[in-house]
């Protein structure tokens, strides 16, 4: 019934274009406003947070999350005193059409709050501009669409200072008002048109066509502002979600693309809490302190990570030898030192021509980020240690030997055996106090040390503690052990 009613509205609008040229477009489309966003397909994904932040240049306390929507990535920030739940803000933004996520990204640079909710804005419902879209708690999706207009107009004005002059010319050419703001309030006219355009876009192509017929000059200029002036370089260039490289003898090595993002590295639980929850000996309290303090880490570039641990047949195809203790072509290579892994990677880079990808060991931060796959729990699959056997070969189900790769469930990003089977060497030197001074972006570990990092736990370990995402292990880079293996990373060229 709603569809039929709206169709009648459109027919009436088309007929009325000439007869009502002096009427407000917004009033004519009023029935559509009530339905705005109900059929939206826009979906946000929260990739990190909450993080404690200071808003208004440090004046008020807030919580911040990082969200993505397709190729767009942006911040969501809420003043704590408002009591507004993250889900409330997410649902409002999800009512917007996908292209409007560009504005969310445009206000999420360093030092900006992204889409932010404040307790008060001096009596206003919202403020939008270059670097900010600020809302009060009751501001709905229509208000956000209006502020998108202000933000993208200012983005466009930076690229072309005459943009508002062009908008005035468009108003005069269209000879039809939008709202009570008046035709000569150019900036408000842009914002009102942005809101109306979003309403029509959400309602269907026939409504968009009617809007274009009513206001062709504004329509053309707004679509230009929505696209051309926005710095598309903010969005990552498309890359394959998975790649496979050819080795000799028809063998392949598969990689999964890991997106850029932020996460909390280390354990969110105290050593005492972990010991109690997992039933570990008290001696583990001191050992677990190297996972603290938990700290925010930003992985600034996407990268590839091996879908599986390197197998013995893959190792032999590159190195011509295999010293693994537990033999099997599809079994993970083991009894390899960190130094051996560097030699393997060097030859891999020399032999394989994969344009734009440089192979390496993952950094410890890359490894934990990929292992967590947007989770913040003990394991990539949650906190329940009883589920470990579904995802990992470990001491209680492996028969105390390695097993063929890829037999257990993968994590959310499609990585197999990220828990268990063999410990995996990382690129970093180990330092138990490094987390206290770790840089916030792309940490690569200490400059020097005596031991290299290992992650993931092995087939031999019985205690579930060794398989937590935050668990850290280390050994001398020249030491070969039948529990140590390798998973290769592929870093993208700039």
What 8-state DSSP symbol labels residue 441? B
**Shared-domain flag, residues 317 and 190:** no
* Radius of gyration over every alpha carbon of the chain, rounded to an integer in angstroms: 28
Range of 366's domain?
A: 242-492
**Shared-domain flag, residues 268 and 390:** yes
Judge whether residue 26 has pLDDT over 80. Answer: no
**Shared-domain flag, residues 480 and 414:** yes
Torsions phi, psi for 55 (to 5 deg): -95, 170
pLDDT of res. 122: 86
Count of the separate structural domains present in the chain: 2
What pLDDT, in 10s, does the model give residues 219-256? 999 988 887 554 433 334 445 678 888 888 789 999 99
The tokens describing 243, both together, are: 């790649």
- Any idea which residue has 């011509």 for tokens? 320
pLDDT of res. 354: 64
What 8-state DSSP symbol labels residue 361? P
**Shared-domain flag, residues 62 and 179:** yes
pLDDT of res. 73: 86
Q: Does residue 80 lie in a domain region?
A: yes
Mean pLDDT comparison of 33-37, 345-349, 489-493, highest-scoring range? 345-349
Considering only the C-alpha atoms of the chain, give the largest distance between any 2 of them, rounded to a whole number of Å. Answer: 86
**Shared-domain flag, residues 206 and 304:** no
Q: Does residue 470 lie in a domain region?
A: yes
What integer best gives the mean pLDDT of the chain?
86
- What b/e string do you get for 252-283 counting C-beta neighbours within 10 Å, with b at 16 or more? ebebbbbbbbbbbbbbebebeebbeebebeee
Residue 298 confidence class, pLDDT cut points 50, 70, 90: very high
Rounded Cα distance between 477 and 339, Å, is 6
15 or 306, which is more confident? 306
What pLDDT, in 10s, does the model give residues 113-133? 899 999 998 888 888 888 889
The tokens describing 356, both together, are: 């734009």
Rounded Cα distance between 347 and 492, Å, is 18
What pLDDT, in 10s, does the model give residues 267-287? 988 989 888 888 888 888 888
**Shared-domain flag, residues 272 and 140:** no
Q: Does residue 452 lie in a domain region?
A: yes
**Shared-domain flag, residues 309 and 258:** yes
Q: Does residue 250 lie in a domain region?
A: yes
**Shared-domain flag, residues 136 and 266:** no
Q: Does residue 449 lie in a domain region?
A: yes
pLDDT of res. 155: 85
Domain endpoint, select from 173, 200, 235:
235
pLDDT of res. 237: 43
pLDDT of res. 489: 97
182 or 478, which is more confident? 478
Query: 369-372, long-range: CB within 8 Å, 24+ apart, which pairs?
Result: 369/258, 369/261, 369/263, 369/265, 369/297, 369/299, 370/258, 370/305, 370/413, 370/415, 370/418, 371/411, 371/415, 371/418, 371/419, 371/455, 371/456, 371/469, 372/263, 372/469
Q: Does residue 2 lie in a domain region?
A: no
Q: Which of 104-108, 195-199, 397-401, 431-435 has the lowest mean pLDDT?
A: 104-108
Q: Does residue 1 lie in a domain region?
A: no
Domain endpoint, select from 174, 202, 235:
235
* Percentage of residues in the chain having pLDDT higher than 70: 90
Helix (H, G, I), strand (E, B) or coil at 251: coil
Q: Which of 54-63, 75-84, 322-331 has the lowest mean pLDDT?
A: 54-63
Domain endpoint, select from 235, 254, 284:
235
**Shared-domain flag, residues 274 and 141:** no
pLDDT of res. 146: 93
**Shared-domain flag, residues 193 and 248:** no
Rounded Cα distance between 87 and 494, Å, is 35
What 8-state DSSP symbol labels residue 256? E
Of 317, 360, 312, nearest to 336 by C-alpha is 312
What pLDDT, in 10s, does the model give residues 319-377? 999 999 999 999 999 999 999 999 999 999 988 766 678 999 999 999 999 999 988 89
**Shared-domain flag, residues 295 and 213:** no
**Shared-domain flag, residues 227 and 292:** no
The tokens describing 220, both together, are: 């053309």
Cβ(455)–Cβ(368) below 8 Å: yes
pLDDT of res. 60: 87
Tell me the mean pLDDT in the region 105-115. 84
CATH number (domain holding residue 322): 3.90.1580.10
Q: Does residue 13 lie in a domain region?
A: no
Side-by-side strand order, sheet with 60-69:
45-55, 60-69, 72-79, 115-117, 132-135, 126-129
Residue 19 confidence class, pLDDT cut points 50, 70, 90: very low
pLDDT of res. 183: 47
Tell me the mean pLDDT in the region 31-47. 87
């Amino acid at each position: 019934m709603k569809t039929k009613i709206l169709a009648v509205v459109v027919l009436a609008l088309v007929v009325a274009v000439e007869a009502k040229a002096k009427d407000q477009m917004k009033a004519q489309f009023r029935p559509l406003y009530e339905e705005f966003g109900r059929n939206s397909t826009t979906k946000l994904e929260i990739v990190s947070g909450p993080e404690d932040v200071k808003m208004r240049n440090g004046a008020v306390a807030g919580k911040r999350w990082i969200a993505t929507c397709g190729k767009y990535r942006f911040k969501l920030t809420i003043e704590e005193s408002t009591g507004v739940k993250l889900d409330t803000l997410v649902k409002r933004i999800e009512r917007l059409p996908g292209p409007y996520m560009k504005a969310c990204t445009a206000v999420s640079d360093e030092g900006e709050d992204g889409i932010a909710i404040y307790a008060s804005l001096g009596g206003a419902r919202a403020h939008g501009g270059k670097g900010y879209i600020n809302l009060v708690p009751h501001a709905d999706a229509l208000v956000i669409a209006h502020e998108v207009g202000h933000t993208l107009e200012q983005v466009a004005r930076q690229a072309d200072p005459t943009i508002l002059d062009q908008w005035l010319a468009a108003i005069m050419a269209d000879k039809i008002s939008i709202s009570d703001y008046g035709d000569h309030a150019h900036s408000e006219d842009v914002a009102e048109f942005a809101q109306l355009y979003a309403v029509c876009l959400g309602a269907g192509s026939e409504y968009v066509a009617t809007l274009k017929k009513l206001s062709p000059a504004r329509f053309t200029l707004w679509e230009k502002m929505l696209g051309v002036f926005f710095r598309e370089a903010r969005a990552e260039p498309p890359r394959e979600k998975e790649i496979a490289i050819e080795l000799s003898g028809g063998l392949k090595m598969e990689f999964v693309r890991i997106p850029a993002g932020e996460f909390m590295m280390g354990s969110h639980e105290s050593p005492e809490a972990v010991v109690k929850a997992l039933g570990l000996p008290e001696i583990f309290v001191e050992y677990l302190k190297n996972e603290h303090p938990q700290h925010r880490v930003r992985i600034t570039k996407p990268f590839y990570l091996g879908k599986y641990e390197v197998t013995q047949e893959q190792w032999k195809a590159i190195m011509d030898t295999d010293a693994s203790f537990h033999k099997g072509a599809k079994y993970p290579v083991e009894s390899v030192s960190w130094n051996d892994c560097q030699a393997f990677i060097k030859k891999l880079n020399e032999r394989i021509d994969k344009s734009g990808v440089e192979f390496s060991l993952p950094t410890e931060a890359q490894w934990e980020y990929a292992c967590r796959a947007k989770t913040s729990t003990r394991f990539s699959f949650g906190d329940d240690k009883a589920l470990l056997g579904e995802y990992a070969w470990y001491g209680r189900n492996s028969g105390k030997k390695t097993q063929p790769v890829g037999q257990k469930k993968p994590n959310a990003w499609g990585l197999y055996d990220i828990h268990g089977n063999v410990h995996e060497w990382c690129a970093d030197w180990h330092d138990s106090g490094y987390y206290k001074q770790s840089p916030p972006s792309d940490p690569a570990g200490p400059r020097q040390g005596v031991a290299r990092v290992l992650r993931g736990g092995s087939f031999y370990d019985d205690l579930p503690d060794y398989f937590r995402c935050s668990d850290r292990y280390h050994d001398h880079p020249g030491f070969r052990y039948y529990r140590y293996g390798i998973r290769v990373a592929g870093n993208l060229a700039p």
